[in-house]
């Protein structure tokens, strides 16, 4: 054991000194967009002499060690003109590449996207959707939504109608690690889950991983949604603004110090409350009082990045978003010299912040150090005041409720590329969580009686510490075989309990001799130390994050995935994948329990197992005049809890046998683009009573009881919907405008939101009596919803 | 052909936009009418035709054991009393003795408790087993049994004027019930209360802050999980509307109940909470009937006057 510190010191010194793996010269640097000066994620660097290649990382950094005296490098990225550079390589060389965008009408043509050929990547079960493709897909009320587009991908299912929650390969929404610039976002939804918090104007890259998780990710069972914000144009000022039926948005970016420091600021806000405020206030006045009522949400994104020198860059990014419902009312009673005031508000929102330092230690070693802050909170304020204007006394009764989670953390990640065959990543992460599982504060003050009373009900905030360390190596065994092997070790310490977990991760790829297709295989284990107490149907703000405790254990899973990837004519990517995922200690409300219970949360939940398996088909055309995809998922998902359904296994509510999505964007002319998406899904599994029987209570009263039979043994009607949109573009001298019109649920299908039993009376003419009849009713949410959005770019 | 279409579209784009908007609006408005809820028909679920037994026996106040026998019926359609079974063969063995059982059928179904019950007079002591078997030629036999619980008698019940506060911060009165829980066995209790003055009678709700206690039908059910074998002081709160009532008019009923009774009423509370509530997981009623559905539970009540 005593040799370990010595070994680690030697390893670090060796890495930093750039001498551990021989004396071959290395070419390293950043790949930039020449128009904006932003780095390009996932740009391909191919060395033509040896045939080897690498990708730029999340920060645009690349490093390649060809092992030859002359190099012939080609840098490429979809939507950009490739650059080829050849030169004699005598020593380590720093080479920054600025790729020139191909001049096209951006809003229609799909430009910026990664160019790693799908069959060459070792990563299985990962999808990168170009941001411009995300912006083109027609969505509800025209409000572009990253998460809603991810729902259209195979293996990802939506929950209830209109919701942004993701159910990935049989997992629950809490099992998705949603990262915004590397910081977890705990509640990614606005307006009860109908919209996500991500403003697409500020997003640069979205990457979804459903399985075969690399060792650098951890903490959730089902998926990683890694969203990177734009860095800001460091060449010139530019911006965008739009107004739709729901919200208005604006984005401004530009250089602070040209070529070195840039910023981006983006804001979005709903405005219905502002438009209706005069009417609402008038309504209160007509009622003889003063008051206000409203609902709104907003998002703010800001990011600054500064290039200190060739080897050091720093970033600071902040996100803040809130939803607010409020009601204020004031009534005056002149005759009694009294003023009654009622103020109530419910709000929820996230704040995330990341301070990041990128350093290139030497041509082969790159590090990213990040300090993170993330906070989600839900608050309720209700206050009633009664003021006597003559006696100068008042009474106040108030209630405050707060819940949420706050993380403060730091992580450091290293990329080490000793030669083109190895890409080694290692790092560590530490997070201090603070869980507020719900605290009521009640107060009663009456100055006339000199009375003061206050009480606090609920659990005090709970602290927990979580860390992980990881190491992975993505290496070429030969020209055909490539492997990513890694280990992820995590620990969670809460209230004297310690949960440690060693999670092996392994992915492999075999490239067929035609170089156009490959087979892939991956195995990964995951552990999740935090749980979300949530309603399965809709994303309520009351959803509560809670830690694993001595009673409620961490969730665990293992998953194996196998896939076939083929590039068809350089335009189409085809993937076929099969997976099996096994989960344990998944959480569910107990029978008769729900999100609105007031008991201790640990008493309201139960833990059990789950498993899911299926096949996924994905045909993706990323760019071109016509682009889009066809996705199909055939899957089975089950749960089994000792305390539910008599211990028998049952289908998960979102066990969806068939799930189809068809997305298409077509550039009709330079000025007109068409887009459409069609989805079909097997109906959700639900529980309805099988029968009823007459019984008695212990007091002798007769009553009918329902017998439920097996849980989730019935299906709602299948879901299908067509969304359509048309974008009209026009380029003016100094700006470009787009008018988007379209419709959600274009053929107004009555898609089920939920079903319920209902009673109605039937007059029986034979007996002249009224009889109860039980029927089943389906509640539908969204009819055809047209939208129109006006947007400009300058 | 495509080029022609594109040219035409370019020329007519303004018209196309207007036509699109105008075309969508009627769809929107027509789609709204009766859109949001509709009656749907699904294939009636298959269900197992089995016997349902309901019986709650109180050996203190009534020596008659009433057994209601019914059958499940389809969930959809008209709800009626066709599920009553009046031609079953019911066998009751109490304390080792076979009891004579009669079926009482009264047309007035509101006439409780004898309407449509199978009844038998029995006399049992704590520790005796009561066994019920119901047979019918159409379906499988259903059996259920219970052991009469050893009753626990409270030592005293003390009225406490200021026993606690509720979540609204209001002061609440309550009671302290003192009793000894029998050791090394699971015991279950069901406590309810009534206020009887010379003018009126009110049933009031009780609430306990004791861990493991739950409310049921205005009363409290509790198991001895946290106080097995101990001398117990159980504090129960009553609504603040009873704050200034006279203590001597309060009357508590302290019931020792069987484990199955406890589990059943516990499930009834959750069942009631889940019915027609899409935000709550469905709850199944607990049954202790082998080969069928329903419940047979025994309650041993003791009247506990308040001091």
Q: Closest Cα to residue A189, out of A219, A159, A220?
A: A159
Instruction: Please check the confidence at residue A583 and state whether its pLDDT lies above 60.
Output: yes
With beta carbons less than 8 A apart as the criterion, state whether B153 and B224 touch.
no
Burial of A450 (0-12, 13-18, 19+ CB in 10 A): exposed
Dmax over CA atoms of chain A, in Å, equals 103
pLDDT of residue A536: 57
Percentage of chain A beyond pLDDT 70 is 93
Residue A324, both tokens: 């607010």
Per DSSP, the three-state class of A304 is strand
Q: Closest Cα to residue A571, out of A524, A647, A628?
A: A628
pLDDT of residue B21: 57
pLDDT (tens digit per residue) in B112-138? 444 678 999 999 999 999 999 999 998
Q: Which of B21, B29, B30, B281 to mutate to probe the A interface, most A CBs <10 Å?
A: B281
pLDDT (tens digit per residue) in A229-250? 998 998 899 999 999 988 999 9
Q: What CA–CA distance (Å, rounded) separates A453 from A446? A: 9
pLDDT of residue A20: 43
Bridge partners, A571 (sequence order): none
pLDDT of residue B16: 55
pLDDT of residue B222: 93
Is A700 in contact with B293 (Cβ distance < 8 A)? Answer: no
pLDDT of residue A469: 97
In this prediction, residues B24-44 reach a mean pLDDT of 69
Instruction: Please check the confidence at residue B32 and state whether its pLDDT lies above 60.
Output: no
Instruction: Please check the confidence at residue A298 and state whether its pLDDT lies above 90.
Output: yes
Is B78 in contact with A772 (Cβ distance < 8 A)? Answer: yes
ipTM of the shown complex: 0.86
pLDDT (tens digit per residue) in A247-278? 999 999 999 998 899 999 999 999 988 888 88
Q: Which residues of B touch A775 (CB under 8 A)?
A: 39, 76
Q: What CA–CA distance (Å, rounded) separates A79 from A259? A: 22
B 141-160: CB under 8 A from A: none
Q: Closest Cα to residue A556, out of A580, A579, A524?
A: A524
Q: Closest Cα to residue B35, out of A747, A159, A142?
A: A747
Q: Which is it for the CA torsion B287, B290, B295, B300, positive or negative? A: negative
With beta carbons less than 8 A apart as the criterion, state whether A236 and A188 touch.
no
- In chain B, whose CA is at the least distance from the CA of A750? B35
The architecture CATH gives domain B156-282+299-305 = Sandwich (2.60)
pLDDT greater at residue A51 or residue A737: A737
On the CB side of A172, CA atoms within 13 Å amount to: 28
Confidence of residue A108 (pLDDT cuts 50, 70, 90): very low
Provide the shortest C-alpha distance from residue B93 to chain A (in Å). Answer: 21
Hey, what domains does chain A have and what are their CATH numbers?
A: 24-103 (2.60.40.1120), 140-793 (2.40.170.20)
pLDDT (tens digit per residue) in B143-163? 999 999 999 999 999 988 877
Q: Is A728 an interface residue toward B (CB < 8 Å)?
A: yes
CB atoms within 10 A of CB A276: 14
Q: What CA–CA distance (Å, rounded) separates A198 from A225? A: 12
pLDDT (tens digit per residue) in A682-736? 998 888 888 889 899 888 888 889 988 888 888 889 999 999 999 999 998 889 9
Kindly list the domain boundaries of chain B, sorted by start residue.
51-147, 156-282+299-305
Confidence of residue A110 (pLDDT cuts 50, 70, 90): very low
Q: Is B1 an interface residue toward A (CB < 8 Å)?
A: no
Q: What CA–CA distance (Å, rounded) separates A760 from A762? A: 7
Percentage of chain A beyond pLDDT 90 is 47
Q: Report the side by side order of strands in the sheet with A126-128.
A: A126-128, A203-209, A223-229, A176-180, A183-184
Q: Which residues of B touch A589 (CB under 8 A)?
A: 280-281
Confidence of residue A13 (pLDDT cuts 50, 70, 90): low
Q: What CA–CA distance (Å, rounded) separates A695 from A690? A: 16
pLDDT (tens digit per residue) in B224-240? 888 889 999 998 888 77
Q: Which residues of A touch B72 (CB under 8 A)?
A: 690-693, 707
Instruction: Please check the confidence at residue A386 and state whether its pLDDT lies above 60.
Output: yes
Residue A341: φ, ψ to 5°: -125, 135
pLDDT of residue A638: 96
pLDDT of residue A7: 46
Bridge partners, A209 (sequence order): A126, A224
Q: Which residues of A touch B52 (CB under 8 A)?
A: 693-695
Q: What CA–CA distance (Å, rounded) separates B177 from B189? A: 12
Provide the shortest C-alpha distance from residue B59 to chain A (in Å). Answer: 13
What are the start-end ranges of the E strands in A334-461? Answer: 338-362, 365-388, 393-419, 422-446, 451-458
CATH class of the domain defined by B51-147: mainly beta
Confidence of residue A19 (pLDDT cuts 50, 70, 90): very low
Within 8 A by CB and 6+ apart from A608, the residues are A585, A586, A588, A639, A640, A641, A642, A643, A644
In this prediction, residues A49-62 reach a mean pLDDT of 83
Q: Which of B2, B11, B24, B299 to mutate to probe the A interface, most A CBs <10 Å?
A: B24
Q: What CA–CA distance (Å, rounded) separates A276 from A286? A: 15
Is B31 in contact with A781 (Cβ distance < 8 A)? Answer: no
Q: What CA–CA distance (Å, rounded) separates A155 from A616? A: 6
Nearest to B35 among A457, A741, A750 (CB): A750
When mean pLDDT is compared across A113-122, A505-514, A648-657, B137-146, the lowest value belongs to A113-122
Say which residue the tokens 């109908």 belong to. Answer: A194
pLDDT of residue A460: 81
Q: Is A647 an interface residue toward B (CB < 8 Å)?
A: no
CB atoms within 10 A of CB A207: 19
Provide the shortest C-alpha distance from residue B22 to chain A (in Å). Answer: 10
Percentage of chain B beyond pLDDT 70 is 80
Q: Is A2 an interface residue toward B (CB < 8 Å)?
A: no
- In chain B, whose CA is at the least distance from the CA of A397? B168
Q: What CA–CA distance (Å, rounded) separates A741 from A739? A: 7
Mean pLDDT across chain A: 87
pLDDT (tens digit per residue) in A453-471? 887 777 788 899 999 999 9
Q: Which residues of A touch B32 (CB under 8 A)?
A: 783
Q: What CA–CA distance (Å, rounded) separates B295 from A570? A: 68
With beta carbons less than 8 A apart as the criterion, state whether A529 and A541 touch.
no
Nearest to B76 among A687, A701, A775 (CB): A775
């Amino acid at each position: 054991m005593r040799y370990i510190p010595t070994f680690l010191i030697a390893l670090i010194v060796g890495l930093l000194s750039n001498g551990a793996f021989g004396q071959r010269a290395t070419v390293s640097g950043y790949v930039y967009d020449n128009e904006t000066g932003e780095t390009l994620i996932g740009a391909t660097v191919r060395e033509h002499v040896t045939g080897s290649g690498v990708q730029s990382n999340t920060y645009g950094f690349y490093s390649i060690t060809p092992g030859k005296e002359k190099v012939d490098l080609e840098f490429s990225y979809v939507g950009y003109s490739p650059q080829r550079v050849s030169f004699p390589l005598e020593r380590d060389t720093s080479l920054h590449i600025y790729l020139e965008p191909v001049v096209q009408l951006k809003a229609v043509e799909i430009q910026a996207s990664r160019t790693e050929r799908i069959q060459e990547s070792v990563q299985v079960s990962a999808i990168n959707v170009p941001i411009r493709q995300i912006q083109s897909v027609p969505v509800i009320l025209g409000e572009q939504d990253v998460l809603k587009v991810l729902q259209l991908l195979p293996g990802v299912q939506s929950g209830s109608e209109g919701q942004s929650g993701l159910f990935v390969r049989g997992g629950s929404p809490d099992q998705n690690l949603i990262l915004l610039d590397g910081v977890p976002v705990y509640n990614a939804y606005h307006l009860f889950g109908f919209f996500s918090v991500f403003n697409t104007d500020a997003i640069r890259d979205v990457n979804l991983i459903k399985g075969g998780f690399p060792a650098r990710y951890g903490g959730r069972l089902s998926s990683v949604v890694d969203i990177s914000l734009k860095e800001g144009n460091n060449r010139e000022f530019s911006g965008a603004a739009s107004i739709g039926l729901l919200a208005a948005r604006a984005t401004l970016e530009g250089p602070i110090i040209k070529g070195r420091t840039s910023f981006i600021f983006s804001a979005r806000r709903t405005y219905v409350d502002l438009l209706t405020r005069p009417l609402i206030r008038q309504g209160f006045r007509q009622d003889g009082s003063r008051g206000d009522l409203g609902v709104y949400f907003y998002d703010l994104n800001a990011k600054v990045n500064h290039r200190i020198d060739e080897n050091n860059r720093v970033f600071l990014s902040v996100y803040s978003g809130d939803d607010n419902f409020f009601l204020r009312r004031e009534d005056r009673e002149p005759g009694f010299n009294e003023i009654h005031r009622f103020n109530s508000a419910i709000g929820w929102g996230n704040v995330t912040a990341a301070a990041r330092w990128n350093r290139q230690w030497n041509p082969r070693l790159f590090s990213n150090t990040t300090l993170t802050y993330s906070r989600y909170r839900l608050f309720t304020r209700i206050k009633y005041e009664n003021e006597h204007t003559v006696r100068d006394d008042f009474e106040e009764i108030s209630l405050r409720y707060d819940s949420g989670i706050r993380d403060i953390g730091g992580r450091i990640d290293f990329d080490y590329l000793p030669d083109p065959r190895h890409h080694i990543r290692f790092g560590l992460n530490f997070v201090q969580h603070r869980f507020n599982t719900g605290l009521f504060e009640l107060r009663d003050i009456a100055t006339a009686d000199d009375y003061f009373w206050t009480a606090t009900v609920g659990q005090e905030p709970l602290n927990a510490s979580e860390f992980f360390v990881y190491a992975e190596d993505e290496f070429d065994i030969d020209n055909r075989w490539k492997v990513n092997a890694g280990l992820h070790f995590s620990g969670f310490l809460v209230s004297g309990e310690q949960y440690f977990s060693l999670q092996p991760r392994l992915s492999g790829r075999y490239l067929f001799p035609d170089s156009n297709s490959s087979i892939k295989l991956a195995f990964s284990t995951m552990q999740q130390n935090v749980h979300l107490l949530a309603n399965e149907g809709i994303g309520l703000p009351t959803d509560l994050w809670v830690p694993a405790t001595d009673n409620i254990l961490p969730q665990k899973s293992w998953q194996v995935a196998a896939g076939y990837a083929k590039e068809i004519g350089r335009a189409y990517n085809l993937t076929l994948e099969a997976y099996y995922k096994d989960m344990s200690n998944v959480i569910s409300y107990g029978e008769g329990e729900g999100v609105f219970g007031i008991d201790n949360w640990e008493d309201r939940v139960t833990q059990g197992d789950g498993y899911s398996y299926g096949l996924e088909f994905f045909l993706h055309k990323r760019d071109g005049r016509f682009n889009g995809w066809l996705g199909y998922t055939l899957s089975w998902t089950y749960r089994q809890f000792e305390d539910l359904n008599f211990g028998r296994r049952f289908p998960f509510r979102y066990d969806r046998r068939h799930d189809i999505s068809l997305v298409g964007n077509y550039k009709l002319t330079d000025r007109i683009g068409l887009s459409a998406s069609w989805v079909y899904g097997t109906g959700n599994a639900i529980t309805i009573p099988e029968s009823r029987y007459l019984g008695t209570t212990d007091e002798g009263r007769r009553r009918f009881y329902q017998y439920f039979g097996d849980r989730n043994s019935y299906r709602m009607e299948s879901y299908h919907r067509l969304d359509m949109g048309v974008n009209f573009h026009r380029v003016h001298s100094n700006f470009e405008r787009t008018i988007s019109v379209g419709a959600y649920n274009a053929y107004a299908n009555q898609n089920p939101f939920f079903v319920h039993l209902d009673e109605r009376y039937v007059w029986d003419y034979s007996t002249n009596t009224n009889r109860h009849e039980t029927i089943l009713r389906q509640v539908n949410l969204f009819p055809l919803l047209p939208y129109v959005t006006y947007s400009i770019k300058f | 052909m495509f080029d022609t279409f594109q040219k035409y579209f370019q020329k007519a784009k303004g018209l196309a936009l207007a036509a699109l908007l105008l075309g969508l609006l009627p769809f929107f408005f027509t789609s709204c009418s009766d859109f949001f809820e509709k009656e749907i028909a699904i294939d009636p679920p298959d269900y197992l035709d089995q016997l349902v037994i309901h019986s709650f026996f109180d050996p203190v106040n009534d020596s008659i054991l009433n057994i209601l026998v019914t059958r499940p019926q389809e969930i959809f359609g008209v709800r009626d009393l066709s599920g009553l079974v009046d031609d079953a063969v019911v066998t009751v063995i109490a304390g080792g003795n076979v009891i004579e059982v009669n079926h009482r059928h009264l047309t007035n179904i509101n006439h409780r408790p004898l309407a449509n019950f199978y009844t038998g007079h029995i006399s049992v002591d704590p520790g005796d087993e009561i066994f019920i078997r119901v047979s019918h030629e159409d379906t499988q036999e259903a059996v259920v049994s219970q052991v009469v619980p050893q009753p626990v008698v409270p030592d005293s019940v003390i009225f406490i004027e200021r026993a606690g506060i509720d979540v609204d911060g209001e002061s609440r009165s309550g009671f302290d019930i003192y009793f000894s829980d029998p050791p090394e066995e699971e015991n279950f209790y069901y406590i309810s209360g009534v206020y009887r003055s010379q003018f009126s009678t009110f049933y009031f709700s009780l609430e306990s802050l004791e861990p493991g206690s739950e409310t049921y039908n205005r009363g409290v059910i509790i198991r001895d999980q946290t106080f097995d074998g101990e001398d117990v002081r159980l504090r129960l709160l009553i609504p603040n509307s009873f704050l200034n009532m006279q203590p001597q008019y309060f009357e508590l009923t302290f019931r020792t109940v069987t484990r199955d009774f406890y589990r059943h009423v516990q499930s009834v509370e959750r069942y009631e909470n889940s019915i027609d509530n899409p935000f709550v997981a469905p709850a199944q009623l607990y049954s202790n009937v082998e080969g069928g559905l329903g419940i047979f539970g025994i309650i041993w009540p003791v009247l506990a006057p308040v001091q």
